[in-house]
Amino acid sequence: MRYLLVSVLIVIFGYALALVLQNETELPVDLLFTQVPAMRLGLLLLLTLAIGIVIGLLLGVQVFRVFQNSWEIKRLRKDVAHLRKEQIQSAQLAAAEAAANAKHEKTVLEIRPDEDKPTQTL
């Protein structure tokens, strides 16, 4: 993979160099903050290409970050919904067990004879 990347970079560098060498026409350029009286057309093309790539990468990173945050929010909401469902199920199970224990204790108390009552002897 590394060799492929290096070879692609060499090809791009060669293309940029050929672009500068083939476009020798010089022309004046206004760069908003300054004026260049004579700049090669190929160099101007490379400069605009580099600026476009940098701006595109910065915007792409920002847009990807927005999408990544959106995906993370969706995933977390799904996790919260799943955890709420589990919590409700465990609370219902605990309530059912508590009700069953209370009913069982009441039944046991009704079946068991009162040992506290004194027995009458005749």
Q: For 36-90, what is each residue's pLDDT tens digit?
A: 888 888 888 888 888 888 898 888 888 888 888 889 999 999 999 999 999 999 9
At 54, list the tokens.
């940098």
Question: Measuring CA to CA, how many Å separate 81 from each of 75, 76, 86, 87, 88?
Answer: 10, 9, 9, 10, 11
Q: CA-CA distance, 90 to 77, in Å (whole number)?
A: 20
- As a dihedral over the C-alpha atoms of residue 100, residue 106, residue 112, residue 118, rounded to 10 degrees, the angle is 160
Is 90 exceeded by the pLDDT of residue 93?
yes
**pLDDT tens track for 13-27:** 888 888 888 888 888
